[in-house]
């Protein structure tokens, strides 16, 4: 299948090396130990960057660092979203200031929900799960694109930047970066540029390194914002840094996506529901019969259950390697592999959902 990768659509098999070449992304440099201890960095699932050296230098020198990212509140919070949350928690523990946008305006312009529905999802799914995973929202600047701040000078600065950046963009540039483009998409790209750049305005932190951790589909937005920031003369921006992670595979292959319940496991799915989805939908790299499987072995590279373990549900590298080897050799069957995943997910969800229930009470104040 031909793949399509744009900020608004991800389809087909993703060739990450090709993307790296086409987008001109660098491989990650040698990373300090704290990063190596984190599964996503250690296993190469965060695989490319722009200007990440600046981020490492700021951490080393204990200089101010902002981590900025955002998510569209378009459905259930699933294990794909958790990849972003885990990175934010790592950076927060390193002392970085976290800016977290709820892209409700973008979702309003590209999906079919009301602002009220989007806000509810943002709070009960996104904020509650972030908090339950261990992100300290009180220390974050957590905001809605539709409601930047109750403080006038901050809100003005953000919306002013979003509006004034358009002088520095051309229609040809939009077309070159995004291909097919509509007014709604143009507005989203400009607002997202403001999301990524405004932490450096004097009303916020002032010029400093900002890193944007995202899925690789978001790179067009980064290229656009990086170009605009250097043309904008009203303020001197430190060039944006970014890191890119692989897409978590959906249960049936492709990308885990909140628009298809049979593709995802949500962090609010009950352990029984999760087990059912794994048994019923998780694509298997095993052979059609047990005899054939014992003889030829399975393929963990395409096996979604194995991949979910690799993306973090089995954090122990030695245990993961043993599972991989046993599966490849045919010593382990698909049913056994799925059972390992189900046990891991059950333990995770059971504990997580207790934390989420508590977190829901804390974040309720964000709902009007």
Neighbouring-strand partners of residue 46: 245
Both tokens assigned to 307: 């991949």
| 103 contributes a contact to ligand TRP by CB under 6 A | yes
User: Which residue number is nearest to ligand TRP in terms of Cβ?
Assistant: 70
Both tokens assigned to 343: 């046990």
Please state, in angstroms and rounded to a whole number, the distance separating the CA atoms of residues 76 and 68. Answer: 21
Least spacing, CB of residue 224 vs ligand TRP, in Å: 12
CB nearer ligand TRP, residue 72 or residue 274: 72
Least spacing, CB of residue 7 vs ligand TRP, in Å: 6
Q: Are 102 and 126 in contact (CB under 8 A)?
A: yes
Q: Where are the beta strands (DSSP E) in 139-186?
A: 141-144
| 106 contributes a contact to ligand TRP by CB under 6 A | yes
Which 8-state DSSP code applies to residue 46?
E
Radius of gyration of the chain (CA): 21
Q: Are 95 and 128 in contact (CB under 8 A)?
A: no
Which of 5, 50, 52, 69 touches ligand TRP (CB under 6 A)?
69
| 241 contributes a contact to ligand TRP by CB under 6 A | no
* Site track for ligand TRP across 217-236, x = CB under 6 A: -x------------------
Q: Are 284 and 298 in contact (CB under 8 A)?
A: yes
The alpha carbon torsion through 146, 151, 153, 159 (nearest 10 deg) reads 0
Q: How many CB atoms lie within 10 A of CB 138?
A: 8
Tell me the site size for ligand TRP, rule CB under 6 A.
15
In the region spanning residues 189 to 218, those forming contacts with ligand TRP, defined by CB under 6 A, are: 192, 195-196, 212, 214, 218
Which of 14, 19, 45, 71 touches ligand TRP (CB under 6 A)?
71
Q: Are 127 and 92 in contact (CB under 8 A)?
A: no
List helix spans (H) across 165-236.
171-178, 183-197, 219-231
Least spacing, CB of residue 336 vs ligand TRP, in Å: 36
**Beta strands 141-144 and 210-215: pairing type?**
unpaired
- Closest to 349 measured CA to CA, from 282, 277, 260: 277
Tokens 């891991």 label which residue? 344
CB nearer ligand TRP, residue 201 or residue 214: 214
CB nearer ligand TRP, residue 195 or residue 324: 195
| 70 contributes a contact to ligand TRP by CB under 6 A | yes
| 101 contributes a contact to ligand TRP by CB under 6 A | yes
CB nearer ligand TRP, residue 192 or residue 268: 192
CB nearer ligand TRP, residue 54 or residue 293: 54
Least spacing, CB of residue 96 vs ligand TRP, in Å: 15
CB nearer ligand TRP, residue 68 or residue 88: 68
| 40 contributes a contact to ligand TRP by CB under 6 A | no
Least spacing, CB of residue 194 vs ligand TRP, in Å: 9
Q: Are 55 and 241 in contact (CB under 8 A)?
A: yes
Both tokens assigned to 16: 């990450």
| 140 contributes a contact to ligand TRP by CB under 6 A | no
Considering only the stretches 43-51, 101-109, 271-279, 330-338, report the one whose residues sit in contact with ligand TRP under the rule CB under 6 A: 101-109
Positions that interact with ligand TRP (CB under 6 A): 7, 68-72, 101, 103, 106, 192, 195-196, 212, 214, 218
């Amino acid at each position: 299948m031909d793949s399509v990768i744009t900020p608004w659509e991800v389809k087909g098999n993703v060739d990450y090396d090709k993307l790296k070449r086409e987008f001109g992304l660098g491989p990650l440099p040698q990373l300090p130990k704290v990063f190596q201890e984190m599964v996503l960095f250690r296993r190469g699932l965060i695989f490319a960057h722009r200007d990440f050296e600046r981020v490492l230098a700021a951490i080393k020198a204990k200089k101010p660092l902002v981590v900025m990212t955002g998510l569209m509140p378009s459905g259930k919070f699933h294990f794909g979203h958790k990849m972003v949350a885990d990175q934010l928690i790592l950076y927060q523990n390193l002392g970085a200031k976290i800016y977290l946008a709820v892209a409700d305006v973008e979702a309003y312009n590209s999906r079919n929900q009301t602002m009220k529905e989007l806000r509810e999802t943002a709070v009960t799914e996104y904020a509650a799960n972030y908090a339950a995973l261990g992100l300290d929202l009180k220390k974050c600047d957590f905001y809605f694109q539709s409601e930047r701040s109750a403080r006038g000078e901050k809100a003005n600065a953000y919306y002013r930047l979003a509006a004034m950046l358009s002088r520095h963009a051309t229609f040809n540039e939009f077309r070159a970066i995004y291909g097919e483009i509509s007014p709604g998409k143009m507005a989203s790209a400009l607002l997202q540029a403001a999301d990524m750049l405004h932490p450096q305005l004097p009303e916020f932190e002032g010029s400093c390194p900002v890193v944007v951790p995202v899925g690789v589909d978001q790179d067009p937005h980064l290229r656009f914002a990086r170009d605009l920031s250097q043309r904008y003369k009203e303020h001197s921006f430190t060039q944006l840094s970014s890191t890119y992670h692989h897409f978590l595979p959906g249960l049936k292959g492709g990308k885990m996506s909140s628009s298809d319940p049979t593709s995802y496991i949500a962090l609010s799915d009950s352990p029984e529901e999760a087990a059912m989805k794994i048994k019923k939908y998780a694509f298997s790299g095993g052979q059609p019969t047990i005899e054939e499987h014992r003889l030829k072995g399975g393929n963990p590279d395409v096996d979604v259950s194995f991949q979910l373990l690799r993306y973090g549900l089995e954090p122990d590298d030695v245990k993961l390697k043993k599972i991989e080897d046993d599966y490849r050799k045919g010593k382990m069957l698909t049913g056994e592999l799925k059972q390992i995943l189900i046990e891991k997910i059950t333990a995770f969800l059971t504990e997580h959902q207790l934390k989420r229930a508590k977190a829901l009470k804390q974040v309720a104040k964000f709902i009007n």
